[in-house]
């Protein structure tokens, strides 16, 4: 059974046929679609199209057409449909529908349902440019926005009426993805265990000194918070950082790369997704002096040995076992970002590498913002424009889930 169900309200505009593609796009995200068509929408597309696509009854009438029993049942159907669905998306939202929603008219099934509906509402307007720009429509849009509804701005382009300007219904896939993201918040990671490493490691030089790096842990902590909010059980293996662990997350504090390795390995089997944001020190002093090193020599050289590459070890193990667990690595680069991401993806058997240019201004280690490129095992490269680390966290999780679906379907 689909975990999400939405009402797709279809208005009477030339773009009504695109609502059929939207139904499909939603279903590809695993969403159950219950279609409600206005009378005008049925002039453009037949209900049968939606019934066949969604495999569900399409609601076209306020009071049904048959017996008095049916009339009685249908008279409360708008309440039932409003209660049983998590989101209402209206596409195309015509000027007439926007006006009726804005003013609370309830003269057909869709507008009555709208008033009874308490979940998130997504409106995708589509109409002639002059109608869109009309002060009446703009005032209605303003009212609906203020009410907290999500309005997806129409695209600009050549319209069916022959004019060019804003008014086109955006790509159904885009609307579908938007809807899915709203639905996805908090619920799409239910039942999943996610292991996240974060922060720097500290490699002691002697009892009082250590080598470390500038990692703040913000990216990993943002991912932990996002994943927890979306329902996951999160195990956060963290080096020393200055920020508090998010609520609802299991924190395992470590210092060195080898402690981090031990923590990760001990929790690997129970984890569905492993995300390694930690900036693990690459080298350490193998034999740490037991006493503080004194300032006696004129010049001091450090002899360093490599630390265990945890990501590479996990990657090798998962690819051997074919367990289907998803492995995401990070790559902090100062040049050749995409090429390095691809190289690390291959070398460490990852499903995704999130690469960022740590030398760019205002992004990277200590910043609240980041700008990253995702290199996927499918060969896809997805740039994620500059945004807060918290916002990027959700986008990375979104892409990870899409990737997992694609990888499982490709099996």
- Exactly one of 252, 278, 341, 373 binds ligand CTP (CB under 6 A); that residue is 278
**Rounded Cα–Cα distance for residues 408 and 11 (Å):** 36
Q: Interface mask (CB under 6 A) for ligand CTP, residues 245-274, using x and -? A: ------------x-----------------
- Exactly one of 78, 330, 358, 371 binds ligand CTP (CB under 6 A); that residue is 330
Question: Using an 8 Å Cβ cutoff, are 276 and 248 in contact?
Answer: no
Cβ closest to ligand CTP, residue 78 vs residue 276: 276
CA-based nearest residue to 348, from 321, 335, 329: 329
How is residue 72 written in tokens? 């009685």
Cβ closest to ligand CTP, residue 4 vs residue 276: 276
**Rounded Cα–Cα distance for residues 183 and 120 (Å):** 9
Q: Which residues of 348-384 are buried (b: 16+ CB within 10 A; e: fewer)?
A: bbbbbbbbbbbeeeebbbebebbbbbbbbbeeeebeb
Q: What is the CA radius of gyration of the chain?
A: 27
> Pairing relation of β-strands 249-253 and 87-93?
unpaired
Cβ closest to ligand CTP, residue 133 vs residue 336: 336
Cβ closest to ligand CTP, residue 167 vs residue 239: 239
Cβ closest to ligand CTP, residue 176 vs residue 239: 239
**Please, what is the minimum distance in Å from the beta carbon of residue 201 to ligand CTP?**
8
Q: How many residues bind ligand CTP (CB under 6 A)?
A: 16
- Exposed (0-12), middle (13-18) or buried (19+): which is 121, by Cβ within 10 Å? buried
- Exactly one of 183, 332, 352, 373 binds ligand CTP (CB under 6 A); that residue is 332
How is residue 28 written in tokens? 């590809």
Q: Interface mask (CB under 6 A) for ligand CTP, residues 334-353, using x and -? A: ----------x---------
Within positions 139 to 198, which residues make up the interface with ligand CTP, using CB under 6 A?
A: 197
Cβ closest to ligand CTP, residue 78 vs residue 261: 261
Cis-peptide, bond into residue 296, ω within 30° of zero: no
Question: Using an 8 Å Cβ cutoff, are 228 and 196 in contact?
Answer: no
Is there binding between residue 356 and ligand CTP (CB under 6 A)? Answer: no
CA-based nearest residue to 407, from 372, 380, 374: 380
**Rounded Cα–Cα distance for residues 96 and 150 (Å):** 18
**Please, what is the minimum distance in Å from the beta carbon of residue 278 to ligand CTP?**
4
**Rounded Cα–Cα distance for residues 57 and 247 (Å):** 42
- Exactly one of 4, 78, 168, 276 binds ligand CTP (CB under 6 A); that residue is 276
Q: Interface mask (CB under 6 A) for ligand CTP, residues 282-321, using x and -? A: x------------------------xxxxx----------
**Please, what is the minimum distance in Å from the beta carbon of residue 143 to ligand CTP?**
47
**Please, what is the minimum distance in Å from the beta carbon of residue 255 to ligand CTP?**
14
Question: Using an 8 Å Cβ cutoff, are 94 and 127 in contact?
Answer: yes
**Please, what is the minimum distance in Å from the beta carbon of residue 403 to ligand CTP?**
16
Question: Using an 8 Å Cβ cutoff, are 292 and 208 in contact?
Answer: yes
- Exactly one of 179, 268, 280, 375 binds ligand CTP (CB under 6 A); that residue is 280
Cβ closest to ligand CTP, residue 307 vs residue 367: 307
**Please, what is the minimum distance in Å from the beta carbon of residue 332 to ligand CTP?**
5
**Rounded Cα–Cα distance for residues 129 and 273 (Å):** 46
- Identify whether 161 is a catalytic site residue: yes
273 sits in the region (left: phi over 0; alpha: psi -120 to 50; else beta) called beta
Question: Using an 8 Å Cβ cutoff, are 363 and 371 in contact?
Answer: yes
Stretch that binds ligand CTP, among 33-41, 227-235, 237-245, 324-332 (CB under 6 A): 324-332
Catalytic residue among 161, 286, 405, 406: 161
Q: Which residues bind ligand CTP (CB under 6 A)?
A: 197, 257, 276, 278, 280, 282, 307-311, 329-332, 344
Catalytic residues: 161
């Amino acid at each position: 059974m689909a975990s999400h169900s939405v009402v797709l309200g279809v208005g009477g505009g030339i773009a009504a046929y695109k609502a059929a593609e939207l139904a499909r796009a939603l279903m590809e995200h695993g969403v159950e679609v219950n279609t409600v068509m206005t009378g005008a929408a049925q002039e453009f597309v037949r209900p049968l199209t939606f019934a066949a696509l969604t495999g569900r009854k399409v609601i076209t009438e306020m009071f049904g057409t048959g017996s008095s029993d049916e009339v009685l049942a249908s008279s409360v159907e708008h309440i039932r449909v409003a209660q049983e669905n998590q989101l209402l998306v209206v596409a195309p939202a015509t000027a007439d529908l926007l006006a009726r929603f804005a003013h609370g008219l309830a003269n057909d099934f869709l507008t009555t349902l709208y008033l009874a509906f308490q979940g998130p509402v997504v409106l995708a307007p589509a109409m002639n440019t002059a109608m869109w720009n009309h002060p009446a429509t703009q005032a209605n849009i303003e009212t609906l926005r203020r009410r907290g509804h999500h309005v997806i701005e129409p695209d600009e382009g050549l319209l069916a009426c022959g004019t060019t300007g804003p008014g086109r219904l955006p790509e159904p896939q885009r609307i579908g993805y938007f809807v899915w993201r709203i639905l996805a918040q908090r619920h799409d990671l239910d039942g999943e265990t996610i292991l996240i490493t974060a922060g720097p490691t500290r490699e002691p030089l002697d009892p009082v000194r250590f080598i470390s790096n500038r990692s703040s842990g913000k990216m990993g902590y943002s991912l932990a918070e996002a994943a927890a909010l979306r329902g996951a059980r999160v195990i956060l293996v963290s080096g020393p950082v200055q920020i508090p662990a998010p609520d609802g997350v299991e924190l395992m504090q470590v210092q060195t790369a080898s402690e981090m390795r031990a923590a990760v390995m001990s929790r690997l089997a129970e984890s569905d997704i492993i995300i390694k944001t930690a900036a693990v020190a690459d080298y350490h002093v193998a034999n740490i002096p037991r006493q503080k090193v004194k300032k006696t020599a004129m010049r001091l050289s450090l002899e360093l040995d490599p630390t265990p590459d945890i990501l590479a070890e996990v990657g090798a193990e998962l690819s051997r076992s074919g367990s289907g667990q998803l492995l995401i690595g990070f790559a902090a680069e100062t040049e050749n970002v995409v090429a390095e991401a691809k190289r690390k993806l291959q070398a460490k058997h990852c499903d995704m590498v999130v690469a960022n240019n740590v030398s760019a201004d205002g992004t990277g280690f200590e910043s609240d913002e980041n700008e990253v490129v995702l290199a996927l095992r499918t060969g896809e490269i997805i740039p994620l424009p500059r945004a807060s680390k918290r916002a990027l966290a959700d986008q990375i999780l979104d892409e990870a889930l899409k990737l997992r679906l694609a990888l499982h379907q490709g099996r």
